[in-house]
Chain A
Amino acid sequence: MAVLDYIIPGYKGYRERTQSRATDRAFRDYLTAKMKEVHDRLEQVKYNITSDLTKISLMNDAENATMLLTKVRDRLRWSNQGFAGNLFGSKTETEAIDAIAEFDKKLEEHREKVFNAIEEIETKFAEGENIKPLFMKLTNSLRALDTHLNDRENLLRKTIG
């Protein structure tokens, strides 16, 4: 396909931007897979809770965290990729895509916080401690990630729209 770069005017830039978007998407797919991992671990915690039904009151907190996690996971998976704005071929579009890619890299920090939270829940539950406040911690870190994704939308609108 590289030969088309020389035949079709503007094709090279288009191809580079497409690759950039694909890279960004691949990174978000990676984060989605990580969130799926957290989801599976949370499901396991919930399953363990059901084996001791005296702790069934924890299920509400766990379920709330799961719902938020599912939402964040799907938003990561199906985020806008920066096609809106109809700035095909312009420099602004390239800048926007780069800005989005940079922004998405920061999602990794949130991913780490979510991982720490689920790890703490697993450990404390195994030790028989009260994990109710830890679900709150997990929910807060997920909420922060969700807010970060809102900022991503705002960034796209600001840069391109």
Chain B
Amino acid sequence: MAIIELLEFQDQTREVMAKRLPEDLKADIKLGAQLIVREAQTAIFYRGGQALDSFGPGRHTLTSANLPILSKLINLPFGGQTPFKADVVFVDTGLIDDQKWGTKEPISFRDTVLKVVRLRSFGTMTYKIVDPLLFSNKRLKSSKIFSAKDLANWVRDAVVQRMTDVLGEVMKSIFDLPAMYDEVTAACKARLAQDFAKNGLELEDLRINAISPPKEVQKKIDERSGLGLFEESMPAFQQYQMGYAMRDAAKNEGGIAGSGMGMGMGLGMGFMMPGMMAQGMAPGMQGGTPPQGGTPPQGGMPPQGGGYPQQQMQQQAGMGAAAGMGAHQGYQHQHTQQQQATGQKCPKCNYPVGPGIKFCPNCGNKFENKQEKVPCVKCQTPLIKGSKFCPNCGSNQEQTAKPVCVKCQKELSPGAKFCPYCGSPQPA
């Protein structure tokens, strides 16, 4: 064993941020020990539990009270342990690079175009320790080693929190973001600087690789951009959304709207579409205010009058329902009035909607229709009151329902006093 100790630390993993020596934690550094500190390192000398000094790059001689050779003798009354504890913490002041961060869950933002959008974000960052003494006392404390992994959660949460804050303040629409990446990054970095500084750290680089909505939303945006509606044609956007809602409704066989859709898209909803489309395509209306509401006039045909050419209506709507509509002046106005008269609104965006609509024509929100429902006499599927057949099991709802067992719900012959299946008595 050497009389004079040599203390140095080289990290091959590039993960260790701070490490305490001697490794066995005996803290018995001898008087005159040589401390070698490399560039991008700082060593903090602890004696008697106190952080006495920090050493920069170079060779340093340490002064402890543990005398070489004699220490064993002195330590005898202390069970072989030195009463003059002295140890050194090496702190890496180089860059801790390629640290990843990202949102755990998508975060909701208000968006001027999409109303509400959920975004997730991820990227990388590089930071370093600039105040080794502060870092050592606040983070390493009395432990043996501290690596970048130990800090990963804290760093990620801090970045996500600040990023959310900045995006919430800056972002008007996600479509503006590509032009603001640098500014958003710099703003996040500036806000994070103090979070890092209080731990003795400095955020050197922050990279945002992506700020994007979830895949489902991206898909919808792609579809929308495919229509070429990105500029400011809000009415056209609403046509898209309405069509989307109707398509979904048509798929839903068991639903209210689905029943109507399956029978030629439903007369009422069919009337609404050409009206909105005509408004979107009418000269001078591009980029105007979106049409109010999305419900058709009750009772079928819209009022007759001049206005939209029939040919144009058919071309745009492409639906049989539009063929019989003809042109009418002020259709949209009346249509809006009727919607407002119903008084129903989308619970999410407050957009006025009419009865029988399953999706909001403005935000696409799916909402429950509050029409009265009755269960199917056979399969118990909820149906609109007055339905003739069950869309699920096909059973005729109008025929006099056969009595069922009060206990096992199986069909009984009319007038049966006992159930033939379970034997339970039946009321008269």
Contact = CB atoms under 8 A, between A and B. Distances in A.
Interface in A48-101: 49-50, 53, 56-57, 59-60, 62-63, 70, 78
Contact of B182 (A47, A53, A63, A70): A63
B171 to A, nearest CB: 10
Contacts of B194: 43, 47
Interface string B165-205: 01001100000000010110111011101100100000010
B130 A49 contact: no
Interface string B300-331: 00000000000000000000000000000000
Contact of B169 (A53, A57, A59, A70): A53
Given A36-B130, A53-B169, A46 B186 contact: yes
A60 B190 contact: no
B39 interface: yes
B206 to A, nearest CB: 10
A96 B53 CA distance: 33
Interface in A11-68: 29, 36, 40, 43, 46-47, 49-50, 53, 56-57, 59-60, 62-63
A50 B190 contact: yes
Contacts of B190: 43, 46-47, 49-50, 59, 62
Contacts of A46: 186-187, 189-190, 193
Given A56-B187, A63-B189, A78-B39, A50 B166 contact: yes
B381 to A, nearest CB: 53
A160 to B, nearest CB: 21
A36 B204 CA distance: 13
Interface of A: 29, 36, 40, 43, 46-47, 49-50, 53, 56-57, 59-60, 62-63, 70, 78
A78 B183 CA distance: 30
Contacts, number: 47
7 contacts: A43-B194, A47-B194, A50-B190, A53-B166, A56-B170, A59-B182, A59-B186
A36 B130 CA distance: 10
A40 B203 CA distance: 12
Given A40-B197, A59-B183, 17 more contacts: A46-B187, A46-B189, A46-B190, A46-B193, A47-B193, A49-B190, A50-B190, A50-B191, A53-B170, A56-B180, A56-B187, A57-B183, A60-B186, A63-B182, A63-B186, A70-B204, A78-B39
Contacts of A62: 186, 190
A57 B194 CA distance: 21
B19 to A, nearest CB: 22
Interface of B: 39, 56, 130, 166, 169-170, 180, 182-183, 185-187, 189-191, 193-194, 197, 204
A29 B42 CA distance: 14
A63 B186 CA distance: 6
A122 to B, nearest CB: 15
A50 B39 contact: no
A56 B176 CA distance: 14
B178 to A, nearest CB: 15
Contacts of B197: 40, 43
Nearest to B205: A67
Nearest to B40: A78
Contacts of B39: 78
Contacts of A78: 39
B77 to A, nearest CB: 36
Contacts of B187: 46, 49-50, 53, 56, 59
A70 B130 CA distance: 12
A60 B180 CA distance: 10
Contacts of A57: 183
A54 to B, nearest CB: 10
B175 to A, nearest CB: 17
- Which of A40, A53, A78: most chain B Cβ within 10 A? A53
B193 A56 contact: no
A50 B168 CA distance: 12
Contacts of B191: 47, 50
A129 B272 CA distance: 54
A48 B161 CA distance: 18
A47 B192 CA distance: 9
A62 B185 CA distance: 12
A78 B95 CA distance: 14
Contacts of B193: 43, 46-47
A47 B169 CA distance: 14
B394 to A, nearest CB: 60
A56 B184 CA distance: 8
A60 B182 contact: yes
A56 B166 CA distance: 10
Nearest to A40: B197
